[in-house]
Structure 1
Amino acid sequence: MTDHQRSRTRTDSSVLIIGAGPGGIAVAERVADLGIDFVVVERAAGLGGTWYQNRYPGVGCDVPAHYYSYSTDPNAAATTLFASGAELRAYFEDHARRTGVAEHVVHDTEVTDLDWEDGAWTVTSADGQRTRHRAVVGATGRLNRAKVPDIAGLDRFAGVLAHSSDWDPSEDLAGKRVAVVGTGSSGAQIVSALAGTASTVTVFQRTASWVMPVPNEPIPEELRAAMLASPERAREQYRATEAFVRGIAEASIDPDGPGARARDAQIRAGLESVADPALRRALTPDYAIGCKRIVFSGTFLTAVQRPDVQLVTSRITEVEPTGVRTADGALHEADVLILATGFHADNYLRPIRVRGADGITLDELWADSFLSYKSVALPEMPNLFLVNGPYTPGGSTNVLAAIEEHAGYVVRLVEHALTEHVAVRPDTARTRELLEAVRAEARRTVWATGGCDSWYLDASGTPLVSPMTIDEVAADLREVAWGDLVVTPV
């Protein structure tokens, strides 16, 4: 951390933004355009959020690159249909630099406490620094706290052990025996990347995933050059890719529609390409397509058929110094153990301790459900706003497009709070009413009825993602519904 950054952490600003990933950058850019003073605090040493943190072999995005970018700044530099983690990290870093947001980011700073006191938020960081801010925006993302499985003996493993999000990319895996726990998106990417490089790859499948076998085609050089030369051509490509992605994403909320039927046929055809009937059966999920997040990979089903890749479906009983023991008694020896086991996707702001109006805490507010207003605000938490909060659409749209809509709405609330010298929070009863409608719709989706357990679900089995399309999100957030909000002077 530079001396300039250290001094800025001691300076109160009107707005504090927590997180310098895609959501935090989007909010910061809009706040800056209004001339409001702000600071962004980021616990990592760099920009990009999940794309800074995750550097495991094969890391990438399963939304086409031309759409997984800001609508005002389509990603013209991506070299393949689905951008790599490194390309996405570079895109968000470059965008933050060009818009001036990067100058306002204080790195290596983790917020531990938020306290609403005397009309403003007192913010405490892990190093003990305390600052005051009239408004706070939480842009911490959902996939940032690793979920490490409770497997006996993990601490006894003698080789290299890491969760996928903590992977050190300098590790040389050539010729190593690699074990991978998990076959979701991260697991599939890791297996695809290491097959043929590691001496062996042993894949421990806890639950099979439906795989959409979409090849990651290179983007033609002439298209990249045209997009780089013409912002309008880049926006045209964004819109074209958006239309393609919408057709796939919205199939998850219309399982009987033509889009879903075409998607399902492509997925099942991919499974039929697995030559070994026993392996094909093992890779076939026992739940409806779309219940869990679909894995988009044109290489996983090929990789898992290689002779140097073994799929293990027997339950892991313990980890020993030299490998992984399964319920059938077998010891699968390994030099490297990678846990592709996902994240605590229901943390949101937590583990930050939040105490709002009248001393109510976030844990108390969320004791029964993740009470939130349109995914962007919380009852009893004045001038505390979110992007990508609870019930943000995920499976039914590109989350980055939803984040852009959230950012625009939140910044309108921030501007009103600051210019009018007021505290803004959603009415509790209205929030419950709106949220129950969202939860009722979510319970009718394949995410809840498809017979699976996934990170989409809360403890009651209700999806924590809304089945809204991006058009519906935009319409819902087009105008501020002031009648839903409690506005008080500060």
Structure 2
Amino acid sequence: MASAQSAWQPRIAIIGAGISGIAAVVKLRKAGFSQLTVFEKADKVGGTWRENTYPGLACDIPSHWYSFSFEPNPDWHHRCAHGPEIQAYLERTAQKYGVTDIVRFNSAVTRLVYQAPHWLLYCNGQNSEPEQFDIVISATGILHRTIMPAIPGLDDFAGASFHSAHWDHSVDYHGKRIGVIGTGSTSCQIVGAVTKDAQHLTLFQRTAQWVMPSPQKAYSNFTRWLRKVWPFRSVLSKVVWRAYAENTLGRANAGNKALVKLIDVIARWHLKKYVPDPVLRAKLTPDYVVGCKRLIYSSDFYPAISRENASVVTEGIERIEAEGVRTNDGVLHPLDILVLATGFDASSFILPTQVIGENGQELSEVWDGSPRAHRAVAMPGFPNFWMVEGPTGPIGNFSLIAISESQVDYIIRCLNEMHARKSAWMAPTQEAFKNYNEAMNAAVVNTSWYHGGCNSWYLDKSGLPNLYPWLSSRYFKEMKTPDFSEFRFS
């Protein structure tokens, strides 16, 4: 990749010091950009892995694939690394590459205003003095705004209650009656980890999930040593898992019915093998096509929920009372601890930060609950405003690190082109944005996310999945060579 000329050093603001923010700093510096400032709302790096600390937290894809290309880690202790180990890896990487040196911690960006050709950035309050930047890169991630359930009486509960993303480690759950609301991947990991130590665990389920067996395994000291002395082993593992994801789940999501059927057979076999009780198995069997929601990988959930001290409640929740949860059938389920594994707002991205572009248009109003972007990284009418892991990216069961790096590389290519043209700013044209998103909308109706018969968190206000509808390999190929005719320069 061509490097930026040292004579041109635009001031670049990066919002967020998670995976995407770290990747942006390292790659921008390598490309020759040095005037970088990172704004982080918390007191340390890590993003999602800093915020989430619940029991059982682990990555659901292999660790060697969930690693930066510039910082491979042969010393992962598990095939799918646990949360604390990933957080330590991110902190170590940020320290090694000097990312932490340019991060302003405890600095939440509340407002961005475009005044051509610069951006005014307001931090920690609307009345703060703004700073001027030439380029803004949003690296806030996707899942950072928690969803609290609108259940009557939530504040009346007398026991300990908290969202899974804000786990209260001062609460001892051993020997307690635990209730978990929600059945996503977070819930499955929590149930798999805490049930054996609980007096009783009650899972309040609105929608059953397809759960695939996890490839999880612990690495021996010898295996880790071998990966250190023979790095190609880790590279090979990364290539194999990426190809597997692309050619199985990736193609299934893209509409390959034969692969959907194959995954369905595996998921049903997994359920039948580890849930012998036919009544419980019926409760845990989804009524929608496999792949309609993000697949969950866990080998602990089914054995845990099948224990004698666990139960699944499918009756709707009427209200929460001091003693526990009362369901619509009038039954009170006594609890000591209530965990709200109710997920995140997947349509936020940089919001609730107020972003005002050309002609005073606000990003939140442009999106209006259905966020879209040009190639998941840029918006017409918002010059020099870039996003990493923006709307309609190829997420699903894929490595977000690989996606983030690809998008940062694309942004760097665009910045170099802008400099070569001696332009002060660039932004996608409205026509390119429209054509790109219309093509995606036409393709997404062929995916399992759309016609799978479920209400997935992928769906936004438009009723369409906010996802890239083609194979990830196509996306990576497109991002390697930006089509600059899709942009306007000035």
* TM-score, with structure 1 as normaliser: 0.93
- Hey, what's the Cα distance between the residues in 2 that align with 1:382 and 1:191? 45
CA contact (8 A) 2:369 2:460 kept: no
- 1:468 equivalent in alignment to 2:466: no
Corresponding residue for residue 275 of structure 1: 276
| 1:449-468 to 2 correspondences below 5 Å | 449-468=451-470
How far off is 1:77 after superposition? 2.5
CA contact (8 A) 2:372 2:392 kept: no
- 1:219 equivalent in alignment to 2:219: yes
| 1:16-415 to 2 correspondences below 5 Å | 16-33=13-30, 34-127=32-125, 128-256=128-256, 259-273=259-273, 274-367=275-368, 369-395=370-396, 397-415=398-416
Across the aligned residues of Structure 1 and Structure 2, the Cα RMSD in angstroms comes to: 1.8
CA contact (8 A) 1:66 1:241 kept: no
- 1:482 equivalent in alignment to 2:474: no
- Hey, what's the Cα distance between the residues in 1 that align with 2:445 and 2:288? 16
CA contact (8 A) 1:215 1:299 kept: no
CA contact (8 A) 1:402 1:473 kept: no
Corresponding residue for residue 3 of structure 1: none
| 1:412-451 to 2 correspondences below 5 Å | 412-417=413-418, 420-451=422-453
Residues 108-166 of structure 1, C-alpha deviation per residue, up to 9 Å, x if partnerless? 11100000114111000115242111000001111100011100000111111111111
- Between 1:384-393 and 1:241-250, the stretch displaced more is 241-250
CA contact (8 A) 2:182 2:206 kept: yes
Q: Check 1:98–1:236 CA distance in 2 against 1; reply closer, same or farther (3 A cut).
A: farther
Q: Check 1:234–1:460 CA distance in 2 against 1; reply closer, same or farther (3 A cut).
A: same
Give 3-state SS (helix, strand or coil) of 1:196's partner. helix
Corresponding residue for residue 9 of structure 1: none
Identity of aligned residues (%): 36
- Residue segments in structure 2 that go unaligned for 5+ positions in a row: 1-8
How far off is 1:259 after superposition? 4.3
Residues 243-267 of structure 1, C-alpha deviation per residue, up to 9 Å, x if partnerless? 2333343143255465444322211
Q: Check 1:109–1:129 CA distance in 2 against 1; reply closer, same or farther (3 A cut).
A: farther
Q: Check 1:418–1:125 CA distance in 2 against 1; reply closer, same or farther (3 A cut).
A: farther
Residues 14-67 of structure 1, C-alpha deviation per residue, up to 9 Å, x if partnerless? 000001111111111111111321011111111111001000111111111111
Give 3-state SS (helix, strand or coil) of 1:174's partner. coil
CA contact (8 A) 2:249 2:259 kept: no
- Hey, what's the Cα distance between the residues in 1 that align with 2:57 and 2:397? 22
- Hey, what's the Cα distance between the residues in 2 that align with 1:357 and 1:254? 36
Poorly superposed stretches of 4+, deviation over 6 Å: none
* TM-score, with structure 2 as normaliser: 0.93
- Hey, what's the Cα distance between the residues in 2 that align with 1:371 and 1:161? 35
- Counterpart residue identity of residue 404, structure 2: I
- 1:14 equivalent in alignment to 2:16: no
- Counterpart residue identity of residue 159, structure 1: G
- Residue segments in structure 1 that go unaligned for 5+ positions in a row: 1-11
Q: Check 1:414–1:156 CA distance in 2 against 1; reply closer, same or farther (3 A cut).
A: farther
